[in-house]
Amino acid sequence: MRTDSLIDIAKAVAGREASAEKIALQALRKVEEYDAVQPQAWIARCGAIEVLAQAREVDARIAAGESLALPGVPFAVKDNIDVAGMPTSAACPTFSYRAEQSAVVVERLRAAGAILLGKTNLDQFATGLTGTRSPYGIPGCVYNREYVAGGSSSGSAVLVGAGVVPLALGSDTAGSGRVPAAFNHLVGLKPTRGRWSTRGLVPACRSLDCVSAFTRTAAEAIAVDRVLTAYDAEDPYSRRVASNASLGAAFRLGVPLEAQLSFSDAETRGLFAAALERVQSLGGMVHRIDIQPLLECGQLLYEGPWLAERALAIESMLASRSSALHPVVRAIVQAGCGIGATEAFRGLHSLKSHARAAQAIWERVDVLLVPTTTQIHRIAEVLADPFTLNSQLGRYTNFVNLLDFSALAVPAGFRTNRTPFGVTLMGPAWADDALLELAMRLEHTRPLEPAPPLDRHAHPSGTLLAVVGAHLSGMPLHWQLSARGARFIERTRTAATYRLYALSESAPPKPALVHTSQGGNAIEVELYELDPPALGDFLCEVPPPLAIGTVHLHDGRMVRGFVAEPRALEGALDITASGGWRAYMAGRGSFS
């Protein structure tokens, strides 16, 4: 049995060849192992006791003769999807709330016997296609971590791509369930709008949002779709499934005009040509299609009135706590605040025209094949140019939900730099079954070359920096590190020669770490690695009376880190006994 295969796990547990508890223990070990590589893929995790309790409940249900679709299958969910009893942050600690009820998709997976491991990282408020806009860190492509993992569902894709879980839920408004699939060699299912309930999903653009799923194969995506496809009368955007014909042995395959395929290099162009040949071999009769109306429609998402819908989704945050937003996300969403009704109706009229043009396309073809993206960028490149490079990734994704298409991202090979390339199969609304069947045929008849080994090696050395307070992962100023490409190394503690103080009248709240000759304690810190130019730039952000000095760690190492001038202690509260800023703030009931 392959422990990264959803199908194998479900069969083994259902047939009582393996217990769900055994699978859960293996999954917990995988989580621990991959934490040494990319802990930033997670935002919150279920404790081991809770995970094993879920597994034992599944085993008891199987023993009682219950038939379950996904027994023992470990899964994770993007942290804009509610799980009862767990915080939902949407990658914004100040926004975070504890969910009283799980999202419908989570409830349905749990009812099918799947075992939840935790919540995954994302571009804040699902605004981005790179995975670089989170205070919880920046996950990288699992095969080459110098490159972005794709967003906004970055953590979900990374954990499936790395084999930690066989299934993770994301969301998709502009491509967030497809771009990360392409960048991590996965299948990314973006169902027809309303096919899966979105009740319990923090909205990005509520009228366009879909919950999405990442798996390793199309057969696994089919198994998930069978569990999650259901009408939800309490979700006003839920729709009853309409029938759609299968493709048959021969089908009409739409491909964009050559001039509309803008590849970053000849190698990527060759990978798309190879993917087209594979689909043709299954009976696809190629029709070149002018997709200019689709590309123009895609511009409405971030250059038109749908920005106002994004602003509406986080209206209270923009009104009273906008400083807590990631600066790139804030700049994008605030642009929607000034859009009025006239502009909104102009956008709706424009969308109707584009939809009519799209309908004409479906009269000519059954399936449209496009690159998911034609390029992938290094993390450092995106941080240097966060708007332009992110926008490039949405060229073939932004129009899909606006035009009510179904879409399935599938792997299509690797570049020589070990970054994956993927293509997307698109159809009209409710063509999901046909796309999944085509993808499964593609996997069985023309399998791809084996994937290269995962990237588990450290990046070239930079300078280690110890952070102790508001720059910790999940804290309000962590973005100042993530925006400079800081790489998480480890969570550790200082030597027992420090005292920690909560500064008075500091916004956001910050501590002061002070070396002492007596009465000290070991204080929790996080170590990050920054390249020299990034560290120099970061130093300009450090306000007095804080400073960067030398911090002694408990194992004898000395690293750069946050310290404080003596004047910082005026009116400060001694919180040394807490053992660290995170524990102190948790005791106060706030991370804001």
Q: Which of 19, 96, 134, 176 is catalytic?
A: 176
Q: Are 102 and 82 in contact (CB under 8 A)?
A: yes
Is 78 an annotated catalytic residue? yes
SS3 494: strand
Contact (CB, 8 A) for 134 and 121: yes
Q: Are strands 251-256 and 97-98 parallel, antiparallel or unpaired?
A: unpaired
What SS3 class is residue 364?
helix
Q: What is the DSSP string of 467-491?
A: E-STTSTTSTTTHHHHTTT-EEEEE
What totals of helices (H) and strands (E) does the chain contain, helices first?
21, 21
Helix (H) or strand (E) holding 546: strand 546-552
How far apart are the C-alpha atoms of 149 and 249, rounded to whole Å?
Answer: 35
Cβ atoms of residues 51 and 27 within 8 Å: yes
- The active-site residue, picked from 5, 30, 78, 197, is 78
Q: Of the listed 152, 154, 473, 578, which one is catalytic?
A: 152
* CA atoms of 504 and 492, how far apart (whole Å): 26
Q: Is 176 a known active-site residue?
A: yes
Tell me whether the omega of the peptide bond preceding residue 473 falls within 30 degrees of 0, making it cis.
no
Is the CB of residue 324 less than 8 Å from the CB of residue 592?
yes
Give the DSSP H/E element, type plus range, for residue 109. helix 104-111
Give exposure, 52-90, as e/b (b: 16+ Cβ within 10 Å): bebbeebbebbeeeeebbbbbbbbbbbbbbbbeebbbbb
Collect all residues with Cβ–Cβ distance below 8 Å to 191 and sequence separation of at least 6.
210, 211, 212, 225, 228, 229, 406, 432
Q: How far is CA 97 from CA 50, 65, 94, 103, 479, in A?
A: 20, 38, 9, 14, 20
Say which amino acid occupies 519: G
Alpha helices in 365-517 (DSSP H): 379-384, 386-393, 399-402, 432-445, 479-482
| Amino acid of residue 146 | E
Q: Give the residue numbers marked as catalytic.
A: 78, 152, 176
